[in-house]
Structure 1
Amino acid sequence: MTQFDFMAVLAEWPLLLTGLAWTLGLTLVATPLGLAIATLGAWSRACGPAWLRRLLGGYVELLRNTPFIVQLFFIFFGLPALGVKLSPEAASLIAMTLNLGAYGTEILRAGIQATPRGQWEAAQSLALSPVQTFLRVVLPPAFQRVWPALTSQIIIVMLGSAVCGQISTEELSYAANLIQGRNFRAFEAFIVATGLYLVLAVLARRLLTWAGPRFVFGRGSGHG
């Protein structure tokens, strides 16, 4: 009968803690950067000039229709051929940021396009500039409309960081793989990693649900 030994995995807690720290760190940095790209991209695709819409459209379609691991490998293994050599952590961060930016662009664009035309016209009647109209009138309620979808996408990107271990980024899945390579307790190692990812995802969703109305779109943002 198979004997499970979870203590052999938990005894390697420094590795697990390091993996958790890298997973959280990459997500914490990629999230605001990705949302900044998404905001610029959504504005460009909804209101920007034609050339910028086409440029951003190409970026969005490229990243939404290719696997994340291929994007990661291109950044880490492909860019050195052009003279750009990145550390595993930097490549992982860039890949996560660009991926979130592409998906976030389309999610946020849907929220912007749902803004009633009357709100745009009311802002213009108050002599607000196009930038002020977008930042103060259009963007906050757009974020509120799509925040649940953006939250889910952020968590997907966080969980997708598991493939970053393929380029030796010391995140959680890399730690689990290293532990099972040392003690041959693959089942226990990946069960523990699965449990940790589950806890991270639940906590991240609750944190983002709490943070959205306080720091992103404000409690008073309406749905139009």
Structure 2
Amino acid sequence: MNYAFDFSAPLAYAPDLLAGAWTTLTLSLASTFFGFLLGVLCAIANTKGTRWMARCAGAYIEVIRNTPLLVQVFIVYFGLSSLGWPVGAFTAATVALVVNVGAYTSEIVRAGIESIPKGQLEAAECIGLSRWQTLLHVVLPPAIERVYPALTSQYVLLMLASSICSQISAEELTAVANRIQSDTYRSVETYLIVAVAYLLMSLLMRGLFWLLARLAFPRRRRLGTPL
């Protein structure tokens, strides 16, 4: 093996790599926030909504979970343009990721909602809470708390999957890496640097979610339950 590693060439593009990493984090956090909201709404529709609401939510979940993310990105990016609504690569990537992670979030949150004991619901009814008060104060907080570790893992996977958006020229980390390796012809070194960057971003996101859990779920902190 005569290959000589040379990281100096790709590291000369450090500002571009940092800009790509920042775009990846921005894209991931925006998609996480809106995907969480969409997922919670679909989980409510699936478990507490009317029959037609449950069917619509179920159809959306099945379609998204059984089609590739890359195809979904292409449909949003090229489909909206074909309909006369051209959008930028970053916007299309965000929309596609929100739609994708919303379906997975919905199923995770649905499992949390269905884990709430019926006794708690009956107690809420006995003290005169309305249906929406019961949902907001009795059902959702403990449901989300129970499935929070699964949600955090899903959102870290979302950040890693955002690399697919390089296929529509969204200037996230992988797209920047593709450009750098084509300029420097140092593919191995470039992608090793990018792999380390993704590892650091994964640890950063897990740290942010851990801090959020300590603020949002003080009971778990008191009990010493893993966050």
- Cα displacement string for residues 145-170 of structure 1 (whole angstroms, at most 9, x for unaligned residues): 11111111101111111011110100
1:188 deviates by 0.4
What residue in structure 2 maps to residue 70 of structure 1? 71
1-structure distance, mates of 2:139, 2:38: 17
Deviation at 1:205, TM superposition (A): 1.5
Aligned residues of 1:22 and 1:172 also touching (Cα < 8 A): yes
1:157-176 to structure 2, matched below 5 A, reads 157-176=158-177
Q: Secondary structure at the match of 1:220?
A: helix
**Inter-partner Cα distance in structure 2 for 1:56 and 1:149:** 20
Give the aligned residue type for 2:43: A
1:53 maps to: 54
Which residue is equivalent to 1:177? 178
Match of 1:99 in 2: 100
- How far apart in 2 are the matches of 1:112 and 1:75? 31
Q: Quick one: which amino acid aligns to residue 45 of structure 1?
A: N
Name the residue aligned to 2:115: 114
| TM-score (norm: length of structure 2) | 0.94
The 3-state SS of whatever aligns with 1:111 is helix
Q: C-alpha distance in 2, partners of 1:169/1:79?
A: 16
Could you tell me how far 1:59 is from its partner in structure 2?
Answer: 0.6
What is the match of residue 130 of structure 1? 131
Deviation, structure 1 residue 204: 1.1
Range 155-164 or range 75-84, more displaced: 75-84
In structure 2, list runs of 5 or more residues that go unmatched.
Answer: none
Q: Does 1:192 find its partner at 2:193? A: yes
- Aligned-partner Cα distance in 2 for 1:192–1:220: 40
Work out the CA distance in 2 between the residues paired with 1:200 and 1:32. Answer: 17
Q: Cα offset for 1:116?
A: 0.1
* Deviation of 1:131 (Å): 1.1
- CA shift digits 1:93-137 (9 cap, x unpaired): 001111111000000000000000011111111111111111111
Residue pairs, 1:32-43, within 5 angstroms = 32-43=33-44
Structure 1 138/213 Cα, relative in aligned 2: closer, same or farther at 3 Å? farther
Moved more, 77-86 or 178-187: 77-86
4+ aligned runs moved over 6 Å, structure 1:
none
Number of equivalences = 221
2:210 matches 1:209: yes
CA RMSD of aligned residues (A): 1.4
- Asked if the contact 1:144/1:213 (under 8 Å) is kept, the reply is no
1:13 maps to a residue whose letter is: A
The TM-score with structure 1 as length reference comes to 0.95
